[in-house]
Amino acid sequence: MIDVNISQNSVPKHLGIIMDGNGRWAQKHGKSRIEGHNQGVETVKKIVVAAKHMGIKYLSLYAFSEENWKRPEFEVKGLMELLKTFLEADLHMFHDNKVKLEMIGNKEKIPFFARKVLEHSIQKTKNYDEMTLILALSYGGRDELKRAFEHMAKDLLDQRMSISDINEKCISKYLDTKDYPDPDLIIRSSGEFRSSNFLPWQSVYSEYYVTDVLWPDFSENDLRAALTHYQNRERRFGKTSEQLQARTTS
């Protein structure tokens, strides 16, 4: 079932979302930060299903950054427990919608109790192909590049590649995102105009959409508004508007 309110001509193939504002939502409602994150998970479930119906093939959700490890221990622990309970209680959502789960980020840093459930969920959903949900967990773009450089240096030293092999395509193959197209659109909730280390290499030509809506309040209509906005943009990739128009009319 496809969402008929979205033109299927230029749906982003890969949508990234920086899900921000759980803490401010909690504060606004006199609740704890963890309750804000809980409510954020409710939004995740809604948006995954909506994105699939809108025709998106890859959905990346920035759920926990490399820098988020610096938060108070209590909050970090709460977030890891939330990851575990979400994947345990809602795995049916992946099955019901034929959504494949994958992750990017520094997996080794995720505590074993959560990593085990994550790996299990990835394994159980690996044959689905309607949409891929990519959770960015313990993810930092600079950390990803650091790990890619280490890997590449090792391949160079072991003579599995030579310096003349290095080009943009080859670098992309060393990143966690090697199996995905670059994001076409990145949405950030809660009104912050920054990337906070999300997909720096991959997002150079992504369109950005920032909304003041706090993540727990983010709705299907907000997603639709972002997509409509995206569909009205002209993506020039360095060319001129005239060049693009000549291509579409010829």
- Please list the active-site residues: 20, 68
Q: Quote the crossing angle between the two packed helices 73-89 and 33-53, to the nearest 10°.
A: 40
Choose from Mg ion, ligand IPE, none: what does 140 bind? Cβ within 5-8 Å by kind.
none
Which residue's beta carbon is nearest to the bound ligand IPE?
23
Out of 12, 16, 23, 140, the only residue in the binding site for ligand IPE (CB under 6 A) is: 23
24 binds ligand IPE, rule: CB under 6 A? yes
207 binds Mg ion, rule: CB under 5 A? no
C-alpha Rg value of the chain to the nearest Å: 19
Out of 20, 102, 176, 207, the only residue in the binding site for Mg ion (CB under 5 A) is: 20
21 binds ligand IPE, rule: CB under 6 A? yes
Binding mask 181-200 for ligand IPE (x = CB under 6 A): ---------x-x-x-x----
Q: Which stretch binds ligand IPE (CB under 6 A): 19-27, 49-57, 114-122, 162-170?
A: 19-27
CA–CA dist 169, 64 (Å, integer): 27
Choose from ligand IPE, Mg ion, none: what does 64 bind? Cβ within 5-8 Å by kind.
ligand IPE
172 binds ligand IPE, rule: CB under 6 A? no
User: Can you tell me which residue has the tokens 């809660």?
Assistant: 190
Q: Using CB under 6 A as the criterion, which residues of the chain lie in contact with ligand IPE when the complex forms?
A: 18-24, 62-65, 68, 79, 190, 192, 194, 196
Q: Using CB under 5 A as the criterion, which residues of the chain lie in contact with Mg ion when the complex forms?
A: 20
